[in-house]
Structure 1
Amino acid sequence: MLHSFALVIWLVTGVLLIITVLLHSPKGDGMGGMAVGAAAGMFSSTRSAESTLNRATWTLVTVFLLLAVLLSAA
């Protein structure tokens, strides 16, 4: 039961990780360039958007790798 739950979380984390990496822009626009309408209020600047995106990416990487290690040990 716990193994199945960890596997589902690992897969969801992997998909979210792919999405966040694809949102990064090589020019530094990233998510800040996409902020339109209601989403524009979420980030005060492009730097803030990139910082938030970087933090989310590193968090997902950490969770993904920890779950990969735990699942390989099971």
Structure 2
Amino acid sequence: MATLAIVLKILWSLAALSIVVCVLLHSAKGDGVAAIGGQAQLFSSQKSAEKNLDRFTWGAVGLFLLLSGLLSSGLFKVPLS
């Protein structure tokens, strides 16, 4: 049971790290200066890479939340000794 807890904590840490990396890789959603001239609607199409990054980010968030619930439930405790 202790080995499973360690594996789950490693997966939990990797999910947290992947969330941070994915959020940093996302492009900015703000219109910025382009909103002043009305050019924001011209460049609003989303590429497939951005869609895949969105899917991976949400998958990592789901995994992180699932593992957070499992690890906080007390079922997978690591013995201190």
User: Scaled by the length of structure 1, what TM-score is found?
Assistant: 0.72
Which of residues 18, 21, 24 in structure 2 aligns to 1:22? Answer: 24
Which of residues 13, 16, 19 in structure 1 aligns to 2:15? Answer: 13
Shift of 1:27: 4.5
Stretches of structure 2 lacking an aligned partner (at least 5 in a row): 31-45, 75-81
Matches within 5 A, 1:1-74: 1-27=3-29, 47-74=47-74
Stretches of structure 1 lacking an aligned partner (at least 5 in a row): 29-45
Q: Which amino acid aligns with 1:21?
A: V
Moved over 6 A (4+): none
- The root-mean-square deviation of aligned C-alpha atoms, in Å, is 1.5
C-alpha distance in 1 between matches for 2:18 and 2:49: 17
Residues 25-48 of structure 1: CA deviation (Å, up to 9, x unaligned): 1158xxxxxxxxxxxxxxxxx610
Q: Relative contact order: is structure 1 or structure 2 higher (C-alpha 8 Å, sep ≥ 6)?
A: 2
Residue in 1 that maps onto 2:43: none
Q: Which amino acid aligns with 1:67?
A: L
User: Scaled by the length of structure 2, what TM-score is found?
Assistant: 0.66
May I ask how many residue pairs the two structures share in their alignment?
Answer: 57
Report % sequence identity: 42
